[in-house]
Structure 1
Amino acid sequence: MRSRHTTTITGSLLAACFSAVVILSGTAAADDQGPGSGKGGKAMDKAPAGVKVTTLLPSKISVDNSTRKTAITATVKNEGTKESGDIRLLVVGFDGLKVKNVKGCTAMGEKDLPDGSNSGFVCSVGNLAMGKSKSYAVDATFDLGKTGKICLPVQTSDGKKTYWQQGPVPFGTTNPSPDAPATPLLLGTDNKPVAPGGDSLPKTGPGSSVLPFGAAGAALISAGAVGMWWVRRRPRQEA
């Protein structure tokens, strides 16, 4: 039996995510991604006066139909009138969208992932000056036989507060093209799975679900990064 592992993030967290920019080598149609978007983003815990952090995702991404690879550039911005203070960005994948790597960031262990997610990375952003931004290249795969979502919370470095959260927001298409070299996906669109019977899969549109969260915070140390997670983990069993 594996011991019960409970980790949470302080503050209320909603389900709504954002768009990222695609720049992964070897993926199809990395161009024509459209402008960055904050769709699905919402301010969370109250930030210090003058601090306003947000995130951006691309309005379009493209999935290579043979490799399932895609790329997403996740951007965090300081739109306030003061420095942000020491912050970090989380990049979390759900359902058919799996985050394989985020350059310069630390992967979360399986036991530390939010409930319902399949992958997650913690990026130490540091102190963003007024008007500045920082972008992260996200390598991902997308199973077109499923729906898929991504989530970008921005937190204090200790994880005690979440200033902003974009997602989980879906990428998808209502017109899949399995015979084409690549399938374009739009931010904020429910995916119509290519696989037979896919229409019966649950919807993942904005507002269709609320990300589970707990009431207390617990420290997480992963490869030298200290973090707080927002999800109360269900106990797992092993033979």
Structure 2
Amino acid sequence: MSSRRATTTITGSLVTAAFSTVMILSATASAEDTGPASDKGGKAVDQAPAGVELTTTLPEKISVDNSSKKTAITATVKNEGTKESGEINLLVVGFDGLRVNSVKGCSAIAEKDLPEGSNSGFSCAVDNLAAGASASYDVDATYDLSKAGRICLPVQNADGSKTFWQQGPVPFGTANPSPNAPATPLLLGTDNQPAAPGGDKKAPGGAEELPKTGFEREVLPLGATGAALLAAGAAGLWWSRRRPVDQ
């Protein structure tokens, strides 16, 4: 993958692979998110190899600049098992008002390979995670606060035939929008309730009804790959069978 030369944040053992430059840093990410990390909205899907236990986390809180709509998110994949993970891919996919603009060290997913309903996505090649190690990625995103917004973190094997874990699509949002403030804090697992011009919340129903999020969404196909997204349970789980991002 062309982005393997980029630097990622990895805790635990040193991980090296061809065309990769990996820097060992502390667990603190450089993205400007706040609050503890959470695996809210996550669930194991396909069975991982024996001794491998993969999970992901997202920050409990993020802050959206009301002028630029910019926000920063840290996406982390962890191996909580007793054996090395082998080659895996972490996908970072945006939905609705949340658009992923870049993920440091990762490659953009081609538009034809994005899940239907998503607006952006990146694939991060993790060549190996030792037992107890984690890899964190800085996600630059924008959030249109006039809409709901969700993010999804699937963890797949190298060829994309299995999804070992998936967090989301899980919403970031607030029930108390602050359009006149410099920034709006959003909470993980909270559906966004945007404010209409003048500061009033958009009423449900009518032309300004919010898009549905989470488990209420219909099953959606995965573009040209012929894979499927399955919405299920309160976590709004979806998983895919997809080919790897173009080399």
Q: Give the alignment of 1:93-104 within 5 angstroms.
A: 93-104=94-105
Q: Is the 8 A contact 2:172 2:189 kept in 1?
A: yes
Q: Is the 8 A contact 2:99 2:141 kept in 1?
A: yes
TM-score by length of 1: 0.77
Q: Which residue of 2 aligns with 1:60?
A: 61
Q: Which residue of 2 aligns with 1:9?
A: none
Partner AA of 2:59 in structure 1:
P
C-alpha distance in structure 1 between counterparts of 2:40 and 2:212, whole Å: 17
Determine whether 1:183 maps to 2:192.
Answer: no
Partner AA of 2:182 in structure 1:
P
Query: What's the CA shift for 1:109?
Result: 1.7
Q: Is the 8 A contact 2:110 2:245 kept in 1?
A: no
Q: Which residue of 1 aligns with 2:157?
A: 156
Identity %: 67
Q: Which residue of 1 aligns with 2:17?
A: none
> Unaligned regions of 5+ residues in structure 1, if any?
1-20, 25-29, 225-239
C-alpha distance in structure 2 between counterparts of 1:73 and 1:211, whole Å: 28
Determine whether 1:219 maps to 2:243.
Answer: yes
Distance 1:165 1:114, change over 3 A: same
C-alpha distance in structure 1 between counterparts of 2:94 and 2:212, whole Å: 16
Query: What's the CA shift for 1:126?
Result: 1.2
C-alpha distance in structure 2 between counterparts of 1:84 and 1:111, whole Å: 29
Deviations 1:69-98 (A, max 9, x none): 000010000001111111010000000000
Query: What's the CA shift for 1:108?
Result: 1.3
Q: Give the alignment of 1:1-239 within 5 angstroms.
A: 23-24=30-31, 30=32, 33-196=34-197, 198-199=202-203, 200-204=209-213, 206-209=214-217, 212-213=220-221, 214=227, 217=241, 219-222=243-246, 224=247
Deviations 1:51-76 (A, max 9, x none): 10000000000000010000001000
Distance 1:144 1:132, change over 3 A: same
Distance 1:40 1:125, change over 3 A: same
Question: What RMSD over aligned residues (CA atoms) do the two structures have, in Å?
Answer: 2.0
Distance 1:23 1:185, change over 3 A: farther
C-alpha distance in structure 1 between counterparts of 2:218 and 2:80, whole Å: 26
Distance 1:71 1:221, change over 3 A: closer
C-alpha distance in structure 1 between counterparts of 2:167 and 2:245, whole Å: 24
C-alpha distance in structure 2 between counterparts of 1:193 and 1:22, whole Å: 29
Q: Answer 1 or 2: higher relative contact order, Cα 8 Å, separation at least 6.
A: 1
Q: Which residue of 1 aligns with 2:14?
A: none
Count residues with an aligned counterpart.
196
TM-score by length of 2: 0.74
Q: Which residue of 2 aligns with 1:5?
A: none
C-alpha distance in structure 1 between counterparts of 2:241 and 2:212, whole Å: 30
Deviations 1:168-210 (A, max 9, x none): 0000000000000000000000000123573321342x43336
Query: Helix, strand or coil for the counterpart of 1:201?
Result: coil
C-alpha distance in structure 2 between counterparts of 1:210 and 1:153, whole Å: 18
Query: What's the CA shift for 1:120?
Result: 0.3
Query: Helix, strand or coil for the counterpart of 2:84?
Result: coil
C-alpha distance in structure 2 between counterparts of 1:94 and 1:221, whole Å: 19
C-alpha distance in structure 1 between counterparts of 2:112 and 2:160, whole Å: 17
C-alpha distance in structure 1 between counterparts of 2:29 and 2:143, whole Å: 13
Deviations 1:128-161 (A, max 9, x none): 0000000000000000000000000000011011
Distance 1:109 1:195, change over 3 A: farther
Query: Helix, strand or coil for the counterpart of 2:216?
Result: coil
Query: Helix, strand or coil for the counterpart of 1:35?
Result: strand
Q: Is the 8 A contact 2:109 2:245 kept in 1?
A: no
